[in-house]
Amino acid sequence: MIAIGASTGGTEAIKDVLLGLRSDLPGIVITQHMPERFTRSFAERLDKLAAISVREATHGAPIEAGHAYIAPGHAHLSVAGEGGRFRCELGHGPAVNRHRPSVDVLFDSVARVAGSRAVGILLTGMGRDGAAGLLKMRAAGAHTIAQSEQTCVVFGMPREAINLGAAVETLDLPVIAPRIVQVVRHQIARR
């Protein structure tokens, strides 16, 4: 599984990453801080541009290879399941790090259910949402990536993750997608 989190500047960063990914990759779950009325149109726009299928996440939707699921602007997105069969869960609990959806909520769930079978990417954004969750993913054996300062619109979230020791590596935006493909291939080959 591939989990991506972003905030300020993230819509373009997510687009850049998704356009570099192929449809034979595992399912992708995304939390982008964005108002409710914009997440569906964001997913529809990306769906037209990317080789993978992109949609707004719905509660209970199975997470399938070659598909990306974007948290709706009114709900936390988390992942549930076991044995490689995962599904989207939406929750309306309180804001985490002042956000709903929260990147930490997504990353915490991916750490629990996917562990070392996951890749976590924290992209541009203000604040610290996602840093602690990325650390949990790394502790669970996932490969974790933070976007570099020079390619971020706002370096807040990746900086917090780096400071916590949550990122296995820090990469410029243009090389993140190829690195995801490389890491996933390596993970699959190890199994």
| pLDDT given for residue 133 in this prediction | 98
pLDDT at position 191, please? 74
Cα–Cα distance between 149 and 171 in angstroms, integer? 9
> What domain range is 147 assigned to?
2-190
pTM of the model: 0.97
Provide the token pair at 175: 């090389």
pLDDT of residue 82: 77
User: Is residue 24 annotated as part of the catalytic site, yes or no?
Assistant: no
Picking from 53, 65, 83, 178, the residue whose alpha carbon sits closest to that of residue 121 is 178
- pLDDT for the residue numbered 188: 86
- Note the pLDDT of residue 83: 75
Identify the segments of the chain with pLDDT beneath 70. Answer: none
Task: Give the active site residue among 7, 78, 109, 148.
Answer: 7
Give the whole-angstrom CA distance, residue 78 versus residue 92.
11
Name the active-site residue from 33, 67, 99, 143: 33
pLDDT, residue 16, reads 98
From the candidates 76, 129, 143, 148, give the one annotated as an active-site residue: 129
The domain tally of the chain equals: 1
Told to judge if 129 belongs to the known catalytic residues of this protein, a careful annotator would answer yes
The domain that holds 81 is classified in CATH as 3.40.50.180
CB 170 within 8 A of CB 162: yes
The answer to whether residue 33 is catalytic is yes
